Amino acid sequence: MPALKTPADASRRVRPQVWVVSSVFLITASVTVLVMYLLTPGVARAERAFTPYETEAISILARQSQVAQRWNAVLDEYNAVTAYAGPDYIEQFNASLDQTRRIVNDSQSVLSDWRALEPDPGAEDSHRYALQAMSSTQYGFILMQDYLQVMIEYGIGEARLIEESRRQFDAASDYWDLARRAEP
């Protein structure tokens, strides 16, 4: 596996871009928790019980939030490694790729469960926007998985994968905002 050519090259191509994705995704994770709260009016108003939809939505959104927290932990670990710590650098890329693969799988499970959930009347728009947010997040994870795989195989980061991933995470954040505003 070819090594990166210079430490300066690695810092320009890899580390700052990934840190931006991490910052953007921290916002998305916060929005996920906010949507979970807002999708369930019973949390704020105890005058009624949760519907079956709300109960299941809380569970699924909590899982989505856990996936986001795990993603942020992966990025924190990745960003903490010095770019040229020799074998540790390659080991960190492999560990990050393995963790990202698990996140992609878990995110797909959340997405499938959300798709199968039938929203309450009046919650259709919010549910649809949340689905779009989860789909964009999932695609962002897949792009980051591809990015890490390319780094391991070729030793050079594909900036286009980082940029597209960032666009997907930004879109997810926008969709979470729309879901919150579309609440009944």
Q: Is residue 1 part of a domain?
A: no
Model's pTM, two decimal places? 0.76
Q: Is residue 31 part of a domain?
A: yes
Number of domains in the chain: 1
In a domain, 2, yes or no: no
Burial class (CB in 10 A: 0-12, 13-18, 19+), 118: exposed
Report yes or no on 39 lying in a domain. Answer: yes
pLDDT tens-digit profile of 109-142? 999 999 999 999 999 999 999 999 999 999 999 9
Residue 10 has pLDDT above 50, yes or no: no
Q: Regarding predicted confidence, which is higher, 86 or 151?
A: 151
Q: pLDDT, tens digit, for every residue of 34-79? A: 555 555 554 454 567 889 998 999 899 989 989 988 998 888 877 7
Cα–Cα dist 25/14, whole Å: 17
Q: Mean pLDDT lowest for which of 13-22, 99-108, 114-123, 132-141?
A: 13-22
Q: How does residue 88 score in pLDDT terms, banded at 50, 70 and 90?
A: low
Euclidean distance between CA atoms 172 and 131, whole angstroms: 9
Residue 122 in domain: yes
Domain range for 66: 7-181
With cut-offs at 50, 70 and 90, classify the pLDDT of residue 158.
confident
